[in-house]
Structure 1
């Protein structure tokens, strides 16, 4: 065995011991709060990936889409026939298109009632609050209401929050926070969003 192969084997043995130790220490079983935030692309896509994973095991999943509901969504189109998936859509589209705070607030609160129902249902394994960060930022929902609903959810239920500029209280509550960092985005160079890639 060469010196390089020997060093590699020793390195992998150390890594395995470290990973095994972490696995052995992870003894708690409960639902999680995950936050996907940041300016980079992929927050909603990551959430839909987790939805697909949960559905693959036969779990019930609820998705609330606060912003992109009127847009085509390839993931939603592919999964919507799954009997274990329920999707509620705010339906007003992007708030910068509607420019009507009163109507947007009413639409948000209407779909939030669906989110509260899902967050209280012990049979729903995963709830995705897609782009809810904007609802908090614009004042359509208050953080106390959202925090209480998440805190009081069934112990085995996981929640994913997506959107830019996640509220600091959500970040503090979260078990896992992933920040998507934009290095470059084709749209900023004048390239149109691509069906099947961007939506």
Structure 2
């Protein structure tokens, strides 16, 4: 029985190795044609959790590669988040962090103030994107500002199309991304909701939500 078991294991291993060799050969052929490089426009949207978290994950990748980067935080800029503490305390030499929002719209209850904050954030974002030394700019929750028409989506799209340096990456996060941005983006990810503890009365948790 032991001998038969070894024989079966050997056959399975051989089949697995052959299968993986075919997959590797196919992947290698596919990768041969993928040699281009460009600055990407990325959109993270949808009702599910993880849009900003993914954007900040890319910020950390940039820092690990020694790539200068920047964050402009719209809407929830008044939050004292873990990302903000980490980046400003330990990585200020590589990552600029600009919290331009004044809190969620239901907190401020002042449209004129929200519009002014969003426009100030967009002015800062344009300056950072134009800077050729900065390789990646995260526009956190800008989609919310666009959803409420605090900013003109046509202006934002035109700027990204016409003025973004060719090798600069820009990531725009927030639910309800405008079709104009989705259409022009190189990468679009939509986060879906399957389950969320908020529905069960659990409040936002440090380290998970902020």
* Match 1:130 to one of 132, 136, 140: 140
What is the rounded CA distance, in whole Å, between the counterparts of 2:106 and 2:23 in structure 1? 49
User: How many residue pairs are counted as aligned between the two chains?
Assistant: 199
* Match 2:16 to one of 8, 13, 34: 8
Structure 2: give runs of 5+ residues left out of the alignment. 1-8
* Match 2:40 to one of 32, 45, 54: 32
How high is the TM-score relative to the length of structure 1? 0.95
Instruction: Look up the SS of the partner of 1:12 in the other structure.
Output: helix
Provide the aligned C-alpha RMSD in A.
Answer: 1.3
Q: CA deviation at 1:7?
A: 2.7
Flag the structure with larger Rg.
Answer: 2
Structure 1: give runs of 5+ residues left out of the alignment. none
Q: Does the 8 A contact of 2:42 with 2:171 survive in 1?
A: yes
What is the rounded CA distance, in whole Å, between the counterparts of 1:190 and 1:156 in structure 2? 44
Question: Is 1:159 paired with 2:170?
Answer: yes
What is the rounded CA distance, in whole Å, between the counterparts of 2:186 and 2:38 in structure 1? 11
Instruction: Look up the SS of the partner of 2:135 in the other structure.
Output: strand
Structure 1 segments, 4+ long, off by >3 Å, are: none
* Match 1:188 to one of 183, 188, 199: 199
What is the rounded CA distance, in whole Å, between the counterparts of 1:22 and 1:119 in structure 2? 32
What is the rounded CA distance, in whole Å, between the counterparts of 1:91 and 1:34 in structure 2? 21
Q: Does the 8 A contact of 1:119 with 1:149 survive in 2?
A: no
Instruction: Look up the SS of the partner of 1:171 in the other structure.
Output: helix
How high is the TM-score relative to the length of structure 2? 0.90
Q: Does the 8 A contact of 2:75 with 2:118 survive in 1?
A: no
What is the rounded CA distance, in whole Å, between the counterparts of 2:189 and 2:15 in structure 1? 33
Q: Deviations over 1:50-94 (max 9, x none)?
A: 000101111111111102211121122111132111111123111
